[in-house]
Each structure stands twice: as structure tokens, then as C-alpha cells.
Amino acid sequence: MLIAVICVFLLAILLQVLGFFEVIGTGKDFNGIFTLKDHLPLYCVALGGLLLYLLPKKASTIIFGLLFISFLSFSAFLLLNTQFNWNTNLSLEVDTLFFALRWVMLGFIVFYGFIKKTLTFWILVALLVGISIGHDFPFFGQGLQIFSQIFLKMIKVIIAPLLFATLVYGIAGHSDIKQVGRMGWKSLLYFEIVTTFALIIGLIAINVSKAGVGIKQAAAVAHDIPKVEAQTAKEVILHIFPDSIVKSMAGGDVLQIVIFSVLFGIALIMVPMAQRKPLINLTESLSETMFKFTNLVMYFAPIGVGAAMAYTVGHMGLGVLVNLFHLLITLYIALIVFILVILLPIALIIKLPIKRFIQAIAEPVSIAFATTSSEAALPRAMEAMVSIGVPRKIVAFVMPTGYSFNLDGTTLYLALASVFVAQAANINLTLGHQIVIVFTLMLTSKGVAGVPRASLVILLGTAASFGLPTWPIFIILGIDELMDMARTSVNVIGNCLASVVIAKWEGEFDPNSEEAKEISI
């Protein structure tokens, strides 16, 4: 850790000499004028690491607690000062002091990672550092988007071969076509029940909060959303089935890959054992290799996650937390209620070891939260479920299927957002109209879990179908990144729980299995 602290100090000195912070802080050409804040962050991070290294554990804990309290107090003061128009102007020295203390606190957190040495903790560290970089150096934060894009590309290259290999091996490797059928109807029944509850909670939340009432149409703002046409029922059904598996894999269409893989696995069962064995061995080896491939890519996860947060905050600013706060808090409260009222009782009913489950899903949920992509979390989530005792054949079938049919967070969000659009446009929807619209959204949203903010595209298409205006949707776009983080995280939690439910239902949940012991999360 000491070597890392020294390296950060040396990097700070080097960047100060090069004038780097002036460039990344403003996004302008270097003009030779520096402020103290341009030099402080790396020095403060290194100072935090040095204090953590030199001081006893108890003293370090006390200092970190004081820094955390000062950070919360100062942030609360700034928020109240803005909200209530106190017009209290802080001196440059006071502002710089709290700026420095915040980065020293981050230094404690960053270098504690060298003690903790877990990937999950490093991802959480990256989240915090990414937020700070995006807030303090927005131009630089937006430039970091390339690292989050690299991470997402590396994850996407895993998805198709991993799904194909695990599904085919899970079906053909056990030669039990009856179990595949049982898992199919059990999964769909469970998905339908849970997503219906999500739909109901979303409708209740938006009708109680009335977050869209009173919003006035603002001037149009250009946004990079593709033009969409309303989908017919025929188009929705046809989209489920692939016309080219290569095209489906290249496009990352999870549902089409699942359909092809299931049919391929069933067909393989019907082949004589002599011809079947080589393909079963191949898919088993490919499955194991892709999980190891995932482990390699996950080492890049903290950088990808931190870069994603830096870009989000740098692009949108922290002020977005205040804008449309009513709608945002409605969604977050509704999702929390869904977890506590629906998912938690299910976990208790099946006697799930909740603490171990939370530890297992912490990393994939963190990835989903930062990248706003369920697809990015899928490989690690599948490994996590195997590690707590869900057989790989069940994980391989239930989780990819759930990513198309069990979008708990997205379903709840679409219910809430569709009624918000009508409220903002002052259109009075009866309960019957609301249910018809939301069930339509449930159908048209299948298979979009892997695409960040694809639900906005679905929402636009459905608005066109029911004659709703689109301008409220563009208002939602302002905070959609923050909403997508929450709903995507709930999607991942819901699908992880679904795999445990089906494993328990099949009587095959075994925390002490050989498969579980092979994976360390």
C-alpha cells in the first residue's frame, strides 16, 4: 500500500508540472492560470492513504468518521442554501477546505481497498471516485466514457457463447427433456406472477404521487433517440424467433439466442449418444472457458464502472438529483416497496439464506447499477447463483429466460412512466386504460434487458400506439440514467432470486454441491 501511496504522490507532482488538471478541469486550452483545486485531488487521495497506513486502526476509523460527518454536513448545507435561497456565500478558503477533506476521505476509501482486496469493494470504490471525478472535472469525466464502452464491449462478447454453451449443456448434458419442460412452465408461471405484482405496485405508486400532474411543456430539446414505430402483435411475436443465429448473436438479442439454444439442446438429446457426446463435451468446455473469460474481464470492472459514473455525472451534473425529484423518488420508493413486499417474502418462504444471497449478488448488482445494463451483470450473476447452490443447468435456463420475461424493475418503471406521460399531458386515463397500456408495454419490452435505456424506445413506440404525446418522455430522459440504474439493479436481483426459486421448486438447491465449491465469490 505504501508503494501505491508514493506512486500517487509522484503522479500528482508530474501532472501538476504538466498542467494536466487545468486542461481536464475546464476542457479548454492551457492558459497558464491554475487554481488550488486543480492540484489538490491526487495529493489529498495520497494523504488519505498515508494516514491510513501510518495511523492505528482505531485512530483511522475516528478520522474517517469525522471526515464523513463533515462531508455530509457541508453537502446538506449547500442543498438547503440552494433550496431555501439563503444566499449565503462561502469564502474560497472554506469551499477549498471541504473540497480537500472530501478527497482525503476518498483517499481513505481507495487505499482501504488494498486491505479489503475484494473485487466488489473495488467496484464500490470506483463508483464513488467516478462520481467525484464527474462532479469536479466534468470535461475529463465525459472523456472517460471510452473505458466504460470498452468494458461493455468485452461483456457483450461473452454473452452469446456463454448462453449457447450453458443452455445446450444444461439440456443435453442431462438428457432429461421432461425437466426442461417443467422448468419452462414453472419459470414462466413465476415470472408472470412476480411481474404482475411489479405492474400493480408501479400503477399504485404513480397514481398516489401524481408526479406528472402540473408539468408544463418546455421548449423541445434535441435528444439522440432513434425514431420508432408502433409494433404490432405480429411483429412482437415474430421478433422472438431468430431467422439467423449469427445475426442474433451479433445483435445481442438474448431471447432469440435462448430460443435457438433450447431447441438445439432438445434436438441434441434426440441424437444417439455416440454422436451426441463430442458436442456435449464441447459445450461443457466452452461453458467453463467462458466463465474463466468472465473472471478475466471482471478485473477491468472497477475501471469500467468508475468511468461510467464519471461520464454520467460529468454529462448530467449532480443537479439532476434535484430536477424531477418527485418522479425519481416515486420510482425508487416503488422499487424498494417491491423488494420488501414481494421479493423478500418470497425469499423467506423458500428459506433462502438471505445474508449469503446478498453477498453473492452485491457485485453483479453494482455492475448493473453503474452500467445500466443487465447484460453487463449477467455472466457474474450466473456464477454467483452457482456459488450459493443453484445447479448450473437451472441457472443456465432460468436466468437468460428471465432477462426476457422477468424484467421486474423495467415492468414497474414502464407502468409508472406511461401514466406519468398521461398525467403530464393532462390526459385522464381510467384504470382500464392504464392496465391495457401497461400490459402492452410488458409485451413490447421483451428481450431489451441488455440495452441501456431501451425502455425509452419502447415507451416512445407505445405512446405512438395509444395517441399519447412524446414531449413528457423527453422530460423523463433528463433523469433516465438515474432511473435506469435502479430498475436495472432490480431486474438483476429479481432474476437471481428466480433461479433460486426454481432450484428449490425442483428440489435441487444444494449450497454444498461440488459446483458451488468450485466458485468463490
Q: How far is CA 407 from the centre of its chain?
A: 13
Selection from 112, 69, 146 nearest residue 314 by Cα: 146
Identify the pLDDT of residue 447: 46
pLDDT of 292 over the 90 cut: no
Summarize the confidence of residues 314-323 as an average pLDDT: 56
pLDDT of 451 over the 60 cut: no
Identify the pLDDT of residue 15: 64
pLDDT of 227 over the 60 cut: no
**What are the DSSP calls for 445-511, one per residue?**
TTT-TTSTTHHHHHHHHHHHHHT--SHHHHHHHTTHHHHHHHHHHHHHHHHHHHHHHHHHHTT---T
pLDDT of 91 over the 60 cut: yes
Residue with cell 455530509: 72
Identify the pLDDT of residue 334: 93
Selection from 167, 231, 154 nearest residue 446 by Cα: 231
Give the chain's end-to-end CA distance (angstroms, integer): 24
pLDDT of 509 over the 80 cut: yes
Three-state SS string across 195-251, please?
HHHHHHHHHHHHHHHCCCCCCCCCCCCCCCCCCCCCCCHHHHHHHHCCCCHHHHHHH
What percentage of residues in the chain have a pLDDT greater than 90?
6
Identify the pLDDT of residue 501: 93
Question: Distance (Å, rounded) from C-alpha 411 to C-alpha 445?
Answer: 8
- What are the boundaries of each domain within the chain? 177-217+229-255+317-519
| pLDDT class of 316 with cuts at 50, 70, 90 | low
| pLDDT class of 493 with cuts at 50, 70, 90 | very high
Summarize the confidence of residues 260-278 as an average pLDDT: 85
167-216 pLDDT, tens per residue? Answer: 787 777 665 667 677 877 888 888 888 988 988 898 899 888 887 776 65
SS3 call for 413: helix
| pLDDT class of 337 with cuts at 50, 70, 90 | very high
Summarize the confidence of residues 386-406 as an average pLDDT: 82
Residue with cell 468472465: 294
Question: Distance (Å, rounded) from C-alpha 93 to C-alpha 80?
Answer: 20
Cell numbers of 330, please? 416515486
Question: Distance (Å, rounded) from C-alpha 26 to C-alpha 142?
Answer: 12
CB 446 within 8 A of CB 255: yes
Query: Residue 444, Cβ neighbours under 10 Å: how many?
Result: 23
User: What's the pTM value of the predicted model, to 2 decimals?
Assistant: 0.63
Selection from 313, 368, 336 nearest residue 489 by Cα: 368
CATH 1.10.3860.10 holds for 177-217+229-255+317-519: yes
Query: Residue 278, Cβ neighbours under 10 Å: how many?
Result: 9
Identify the pLDDT of residue 338: 94
Summarize the confidence of residues 467-481 as an average pLDDT: 68
For residue 1, give the DSSP letter.
-
Phi, psi angles (nearest 5°) of residue 117:
55, 40
Selection from 387, 383, 365, 357 nearest residue 305 by Cα: 365
Lowest mean pLDDT among 26-30, 127-131, 264-268: 26-30
Instruction: Name the packing angle between helices 119-136 and 354-371 (round to 10°).
Output: 30
Q: How far is CA 135 from the centre of its chain?
A: 20
What percentage of residues in the chain have a pLDDT greater than 70?
78
Question: Distance (Å, rounded) from C-alpha 63 to C-alpha 87?
Answer: 31
Question: Distance (Å, rounded) from C-alpha 322 to C-alpha 320?
Answer: 5
As a residue count, the chain comes to 521
Phi, psi angles (nearest 5°) of residue 35:
-115, 165
Summarize the confidence of residues 117-127 as an average pLDDT: 78
| pLDDT class of 218 with cuts at 50, 70, 90 | very low
